[in-house]
Structure 1
Amino acid sequence: MAKLRSLLLVTLLASLSTVIAESWKVQDINLILAAPGGAKKAEHKLEYPYAVKELAADPSDVLKFSFKIDNKEKPHQAMVVFQSQDEFQDEIMVAASVKSSGKGRFDLNFNKADAKFRYGTRKYSMTFLVGGPKIDEPYKYNLGHIQVQGPTSNPATRPARLHYKAQPEIHHQFRPDQKLINTAISGLFTILVLTPFAALFFLWSKLGIKFEPLQALTSKPFDLITAVTFFGSLAGIEFVFYSYWTHVTLFPVLQALGVLSVVAFISGRYVLSAVQTRRLQRTAGSAKKEL
């Protein structure tokens, strides 16, 4: 029992250390607001969860943001999300470049940044985000708020706001069913197509044609079974084609054709070989009679 408790304690400590190792360690977070000449207007060294209460920036100011990540794993993305505190809720994402040493930074010139900063004087919330593929929990830090003054000249024009509303209902019209030919006419032409075959069988009966291959097959049961299998597989293939034309989809047709084709190939090869053997035997018999 004591060993079991020790094992559980070790497992718990190992899992706790894994959770701690999988959290982001961000330090030395600095936020500097500088004038165009480089003079610092405000400087804040931030530590979670402290947030900047209020920053006021002119259009020509530069916001400098830097930090350091102490994890062995480097982040896939590190950025600050600016969200306007008005009805539009515009989001502006500014990505930071992170070096192999873990130090990251960006310089944001409001005059050259996203046009959304130039839609007028607005207040923005600043959220610092760090994420990577090997650490599940992202780092999120609310840095505070900043008010950016709109430009006095050449302000950006906000696009017209889209208003979504229900559109008129679309009524799709299908083509009417194709008219089929009259059943009597179709039956008449079917009879006309079958008439030559009836005439053929009638003439064969009058001429007294003997089906020697059929007689030879009946004398050998295995040859007869093979021939029936071969012609049956051919009839099955024709039936599959008919079914595909009328109601069956493609994939069942391919499966059936795959099976029937193998059966037709094997049985047909044997039937043709048997026919060739009988032909050679008849030729040899005729040659002996002539001699």
Structure 2
Amino acid sequence: MVPRIALHFTWLLLAVCVHAGSLLLQNPRFTITSSTAAQLRADTLSLTEKPEPLKLEPSDTLKLTFQITEKSEGKGVQPHQTFLRFYDSVSGEEGIQPVRVTPGGKAKFELNMARPPASLPPTTDHPLEVSLILGSFVHEPTTFDLFDLYVPSSYTPVPHPDEAKFHKLPLIHHTFRPEQKLPPKFVSAIFAALVLSPWLVLLGLWSKIGVRVPHLFSPRIIPFTVLLGAFEALLCWYWVDLKLGQVLLYGGILAIPTIFAGKTALAATGEWRTGKN
């Protein structure tokens, strides 16, 4: 019997806490004024039944006032978040506008159609459903449906210059050029012979002149000659297989001994020409 009474007491206490945490909307009232401050329409809102749809002209202003109170004590409270939601049920567009609430729970909101807020969704000839959303860590979140609102149709927004970049692009089809046709081997052989012909002419002229290089295999000349041959071999290797970075690396390594060997070879050649050796 005692556990059953305790269970009922717990549920009763929970219901009291939930009841105490509810929020109410007191004295919600709207006023529509023209650009000359003339009052066009004013009324108190009913939370059980929507009024006739409100309509704003391009220069009208809508003023909305209300107070948020606790249901249990009736004193004004300040929710952590208070928003007005403008929703177009036809297009599905919506806009959320925050509302400032005082510590005493009083709030005032103005919608000037001469300077509409950026949060107002694109509008057509369909009404916007306006509702009030209250969020709090202490009280239950609450939503109040206030009224339907007709506003002037908005202009078509100017497309952003980068908008096209975010559209779906056409499928990319890769096209490859046909393989390059090689010339006949006979033509390649003719041009290869033309490239090698200067060497044949050079060797023929040397044979006629009788060029003599008596010191070519001298110990002071042969290192320089071998290193020059290594450079020629490196260039041939580059033409066949190596990459440019590798050629620069190997060429830089070969350049160091080539400089010293060339200096020695030039010094020896100078001595032979002057007859010092």
TM-score normalised to the size of structure 1?
0.49
Of 143, 148, 160, which aligns to 2:146? 143
Q: Does 2:78 align with 1:74?
A: yes
Cα distance, 1:167 vs structure 2: 6.8
- Post-superposition Cα deviations, 1:157-193, rounded to whole Å, max 9, x if no partner, equal 4144988658759xxxxxxxxxxxxxxxxxxxxxxxx
Distance 1:52 1:77 in 2: 26
Which secondary structure does the structure 2 equivalent of 1:70 belong to?
Answer: strand
Cα distance, 1:120 vs structure 2: 5.8
Distance 1:85 1:14 in 2: 40
Larger Rg: 2
Which secondary structure does the structure 2 equivalent of 1:25 belong to?
Answer: strand
Equivalent residue runs for 1:14-163 within 5 Å? 14-71=13-70, 73-87=77-91, 89-114=92-117, 121-135=125-139, 137-150=140-153, 156-160=155-159
Cα distance, 1:56 vs structure 2: 1.4
| Change over 3 Å in CA distance of 1:60–1:85 after alignment to 2 | farther
Cα distance, 1:134 vs structure 2: 2.7
Cα distance, 1:53 vs structure 2: 3.0
Distance 1:8 1:91 in 2: 45
**% of aligned pairs identical?**
23
Cα distance, 1:133 vs structure 2: 2.5
Distance 2:69 2:80 in 1: 14
Cα distance, 1:75 vs structure 2: 0.9
Cα distance, 1:14 vs structure 2: 0.4
Distance 1:98 1:143 in 2: 17
- Post-superposition Cα deviations, 1:199-248, rounded to whole Å, max 9, x if no partner, equal xxxxxxxxxxxxxxxxxxxxxxxxxxxxxxxxxxxxxxxxxxxxxxxxxx
Count of residues in Structure 1 that have an aligned counterpart in Structure 2 = 164
Whether the 8 Å contact between 1:32 and 1:40 is mirrored in structure 2 is yes
Deviates more, 1:120-129 or 1:25-34: 120-129
- Aligned twin of 1:223: none
- Post-superposition Cα deviations, 1:75-129, rounded to whole Å, max 9, x if no partner, equal 1221211123443x33222222111111111111011113557866552111111
Distance 2:55 2:6 in 1: 57
Whether the 8 Å contact between 2:77 and 2:105 is mirrored in structure 1 is no
Distance 1:126 1:133 in 2: 24
Distance 1:83 1:15 in 2: 35
Equivalent residue runs for 1:187-266 within 5 Å? none
Amino acid at match of 1:93: I
Whether the 8 Å contact between 2:132 and 2:143 is mirrored in structure 1 is yes
Which secondary structure does the structure 2 equivalent of 1:105 belong to?
Answer: strand
Distance 2:7 2:144 in 1: 35
Which secondary structure does the structure 2 equivalent of 1:9 belong to?
Answer: helix
Whether the 8 Å contact between 1:119 and 1:158 is mirrored in structure 2 is no
Amino acid at match of 2:78: K
- Aligned twin of 1:211: none
TM-score normalised to the size of structure 2?
0.51
Distance 1:27 1:73 in 2: 11
Large movers: runs of 4+ above 3 Å: 115-122, 159-169
- Post-superposition Cα deviations, 1:228-286, rounded to whole Å, max 9, x if no partner, equal xxxxxxxxxxxxxxxxxxxxxxxxxxxxxxxxxxxxxxxxxxxxxxxxxxxxxxxxxxx
| Change over 3 Å in CA distance of 1:119–1:8 after alignment to 2 | closer
Cα distance, 1:67 vs structure 2: 1.0
- Where structure 2 has 5 or more consecutive residues not aligned to the other structure, the ranges are 71-75, 173-277
Which secondary structure does the structure 1 equivalent of 2:16 belong to?
Answer: helix
| Change over 3 Å in CA distance of 1:21–1:165 after alignment to 2 | farther
| Change over 3 Å in CA distance of 1:6–1:118 after alignment to 2 | closer
Coordinate RMSD, CA, aligned? 3.1
